[in-house]
Amino acid sequence: MAEEYLGGSGGVWPADKPQEECGIFGIYGAGLDVARITYYGLYALQHRGQESAGIAVGDGERIQLIKDMGLVSDVFNHEKLSSFQGHLAVGHVRYSTTGSSHPVNAQPLVFRYARGMIGLAHNGNIANITELRSHLASTGAVFQSSTDSEVIVNLIARYSQNGLADAIHKCMVDIKGGYAILLLTEKSLIGVRDPFGIRPLCLGRKGDAHILASESCALDTVGAELVRDVEPGEIIIIDENGVNSRKPVQAGRRAHCIFEYIYFARPDSRMDGFSVSKVRREMGRQLAREYPVEADLVIPVPDSGTTAARGFAEQSGIPFEEGLMKNRYIGRTFIQPTQSIRDLGVRLKLNPVRDVLNGKRVVVVDDSIVRGTTSGKIVNMLREFGAREVHFCLSSPPVKKSCYYGIDTSNEEELIAAHKSLAEIKDFIGADGLHYLSLEGLLGVFGESRDNFCTACFSGDYPVAIPKPYEAGKYVLE
């Protein structure tokens, strides 16, 4: 069973959320400390992955790499950052969606090939990875890791006879899935976004320097401005000649991951034309329209439910309160394999406020439920601390299908909404009321752009062909 880090830095319990993807950051800027800027950019993207971190730096002649397991603050210090010399860099924070959490799978991956050195940082998942890797292996390819990212490097190397841009184009034709990729050569930084735009990538500028990042919050952190989102199917090439764009592959429709807005992205990010914070608040408002309830308080499950809870409170007129306090200073701990100790995991992270809750009818707003285990513990805690009624509201529809494009939503048989009715889930978590935001209500938040999103985890409408069951799963390459 997958496990979830508490707050990104400590403690684990069985995950009741879709797990993070990865975060990528790249910069091309002469005269700048690109390693240190990348370090701060990765700090801003730490929410997207806490398993490993790495930075690769190019100086025109070679690529240096430092990567290891752990958080950005665990992997880098002043001495390591000062050892980097160069004018372009890429960085990566990882949550594994293909391949185990192991040092050999940490990124960026750096290789030598016929034209020199190349580094790769990848966010996403390749749906046809088993087929591609089997073909490459049968023709002599050797793999050092169990990630789908290494297959991308192999394909690019094989297609490089006519230059890197042509190789990337051919690679994009072969690979199917959701991806945002940063490539680093000794002299250039390249960004690639999948033809459907499933995984996010944006372009920024800091003076004369150019930056590519998963989210605009990373640009804000390093003092850069958002120029625009990278278009679906676009290749951005940044070198001594400036920024050049190519769009060799187009899908005919957009399918941005809607869970970026529900849960993954930081609220202060802008993504494909939308403010994440404003979208989440409107999700909460729509939730209140769909689920009118008599209650005394609206409380969020922090931090992922906070913005939607404010929207719910504004629309319903029910007062917003902080009824659950989050402990943000938990060190990493090993949880003993006994249920009584596992149950303490939620209490380590969240503590109810008795004076707020006692005798009250409470609406709890969160973003999603995967297994229902943590939600049930939260409901039980609220009752223990005096809540008279607990109504659980989610700012997303029921998660019924697995994701194959870069989110670890667990196997379908572990998804509670895939095999239980709304009434059964309500009873399972022990709530007095349970309501999910409807898919129609969710899409309505985006107005005329409502058809530009991937909703496969709710509807089963996959924009890219998914792997056969025996070819799917996090550890399929191991």
> pLDDT tens for residues 130-141?
899 888 888 877
**Residue 292 CB: number of other CB atoms within 10 A?**
10
Backbone φ and ψ of 125, nearest 5°: -150, 135
- Taken in order 272, 270, 463, 151, is the CA torsion positive or negative? positive
Query: Do the annotations mark residue 366 as ligand-binding?
Result: yes
**Active site annotation includes 202:** no
pLDDT value for 167: 94
Is-above-0.85 flag for pTM?
A: yes
Q: Which part of the chain has CATH 3.40.50.2020?
A: 275-453
Query: Do the annotations mark residue 257 as ligand-binding?
Result: yes
Amino acid at 39: Y
> pLDDT tens for residues 369-387?
988 989 999 999 999 999 9
> pLDDT tens for residues 247-296?
988 888 999 999 999 999 999 999 999 999 999 999 999 999 999 999 99
Query: Do the annotations mark residue 202 as ligand-binding?
Result: no
Query: Do the annotations mark residue 457 as ligand-binding?
Result: yes
275-453: which CATH number, 3.40.50.2020, 3.20.20.70, 3.40.50.20, 3.40.50.10860?
3.40.50.2020
> pLDDT tens for residues 190-226?
999 999 999 999 999 999 999 999 999 999 999 999 9
C-alpha–C-alpha distance, residues 36 and 53, integer Å: 14
Query: Do the annotations mark residue 454 as ligand-binding?
Result: yes
> pLDDT tens for residues 335-364?
444 555 556 777 888 999 999 999 999 999
3-255: which CATH number, 3.20.20.80, 3.40.50.2000, 2.40.50.140, 3.60.20.10?
3.60.20.10
Catalytic choice (22, 171, 202, 217): 22
